[in-house]
Amino acid sequence: MDNLELWYRSHRGECISDSLGKYYSFKYGVGENAGTYDALDPDTWHGIRNIVRAGKASEYFTPHETQFVSYRGGSAVVWDVIGIDQDTPSDSRFTHSMTLQMHGCDLGKVIFSTAEALYSQEQALPAGTYHFTVVSQPLYTADVGKSFQFTLTHDVPAGGQITVQSVPSASLDGKTVTIYASAVSTDALETAALTEGSGGVSLGNAGDTSTNDMNALLNAINGTNRYADSYIRQWINSDLPSGGVWSPQNKWSRPPSQAESSAGMLYGMDRGFLSAVGAVRKVTAAAEGYDVTNDRFFLLSRREAYTGNETSSVTEGEPYDYYSINSSQPSAGSDQNRVKYKNSEATSWWLRTPRIDQKGAVRYINTSGNCFGLSSKTLCGAAPACCIV
């Protein structure tokens, strides 16, 4: 009997327990009918929420042993209990929580974010020749100190953006810039060649940090690694259909191609399950300091997945019991307890932690359970978490 059959048998009401742990069915509270029965009932989402709010979750459920099943568009989604009372609800009326994480990468691969604009300003930019100077590029240092120019035959309207086509380990010479009318526009006004030179008007310096009009260079090449601004954060918290998930999060934001073809993760998710999930406070390291977000669904940090700290100055939560109790060591090394699957194939999955020493790179867990860094615009599995509050 494979795992999927076990989950379906559990959902039909059979009581099943094996090496994968305890399975809870929802024969009395699936979808719209959830929440109308016993106050403390582990067979309904409403009852589970009441158990958590009463501070009794540890009497019923065990991290790494208990799993639940929700449904999204008729397909089963399996959730592991990974911690009890390890997350702080955003709503101060509640003091208890139970954290669930998607057991596998059931919903496929998604980008963390897309490449941002290199240049953005409120005023129009007339047609003509422009250049910018690279003051820092850690992945291709031969460009540092050089200027690159391009010529526009069309005006850039107010609110328009300029993107750059490149890879982080190659020179900008011979690449192109593309002009868009706005942050939400996907139809290019013009594409122009980049050549080494300092002709025309200077747009400024491109380096490790953004300025008033010029973005950090690697954010424009790799994509932002800031979780608070990421596409994946919008996707895992959206119940909207394709085309409605993404909106600009800063002046550099560009629409990801997936936004037009992918509905939000919560689109079609059963409402009984969603009614039991509440927002929690999460801290995430950033290039400068940290961000605090309050979300119903979130990615784990590297510390929460028991792979150590990204920086000594920011604590991104505590290791969840699911990982700290059952993992071999608190490091970024190989660990089978962190390996996740899709269709029986090991799949890498995103964390929310940025790689602090490299713009545009984000931490992820690979198919051996190691924690490494990956360009944020790369397709990678998603194993989001949420809290019953």
pLDDT in tens, 207-265: 988 888 899 999 999 889 999 999 999 999 999 999 999 999 999 999 998 888 999 99
In this structure, the answer to whether residues 204 and 231 fall within a common structural domain is no
Query: For the chain, what is the mean pLDDT?
Result: 89
What is the mean pLDDT of the segment spanning 31-41?
Answer: 56
Give the model's confidence band at 34: pLDDT under 50 very low, under 70 low, under 90 confident, else very high: very low
pLDDT at 359: 83
In a domain, 293, yes or no: yes
In this structure, the answer to whether residues 199 and 178 fall within a common structural domain is yes
pLDDT at 344 over 50: yes
Q: Which of 27-36, 207-216, 379-388 has the highest mean pLDDT?
A: 379-388
Give the model's confidence band at 5: pLDDT under 50 very low, under 70 low, under 90 confident, else very high: very low
| Residue 204: domain span | 119-221
In this structure, the answer to whether residues 341 and 298 fall within a common structural domain is yes
Of residues 283 and 108, the one with the higher pLDDT is 283
pLDDT at 110: 96
In this structure, the answer to whether residues 373 and 284 fall within a common structural domain is yes
Domain end position, chosen among 221, 242, 275: 221
Task: Give residue-wise pLDDT tens across range 320-334.
Answer: 999 999 988 889 999
In this structure, the answer to whether residues 205 and 233 fall within a common structural domain is no
In a domain, 88, yes or no: no
pLDDT at 38: 53
Give the model's confidence band at 189: pLDDT under 50 very low, under 70 low, under 90 confident, else very high: very high
What is the mean pLDDT of the segment spanning 68-89?
Answer: 96
Domain end position, chosen among 177, 201, 221: 221
pLDDT at 125 over 80: yes
pLDDT at 100 over 90: yes
What is the mean pLDDT of the segment spanning 178-195?
Answer: 95
pLDDT at 53 over 80: yes
- The domain tally of the chain equals 3
In a domain, 160, yes or no: yes
In this structure, the answer to whether residues 256 and 177 fall within a common structural domain is no
pLDDT at 70 over 70: yes
pLDDT at 318: 97
pLDDT at 226: 95
In this structure, the answer to whether residues 248 and 377 fall within a common structural domain is yes
In this structure, the answer to whether residues 127 and 235 fall within a common structural domain is no
3-state secondary structure the chain: CCHHHHHHHHHCCCCCEECCEEEECCCCCCHHHCCCCCCCCCCCHHHHHHHHHCCCHHHHCCCCCEEEEEEECCEEEEEEEEEECCCCECCCCCCCCEEEEECCCCCCEEECCCCCCCEECCCCECCEEEEEEECCCCCCHHHCCCEEEEEECCCECCCCEEEEECCCCCCCCCCEEEEECCCCCCCCCEEEECEECCCCEEEEEECCCCCCCECCHHHHHCCCCCHHHCHHHHHHCCCCCCCCCCCCCCCCCCCCHHHHCCCCCCCCECHHHHHHEECEEEEEECCCCEEEEEECEECCCCCCCCCCCCCCCCCCCCCCHHHHCCCCCCCCCCCHHHCEEECCEEECEEEEEECCCCCCEEEEECCCCCEEEEECCCEEECCCEEEEC
Domain end position, chosen among 221, 256, 274: 221
Give the model's confidence band at 142: pLDDT under 50 very low, under 70 low, under 90 confident, else very high: very high
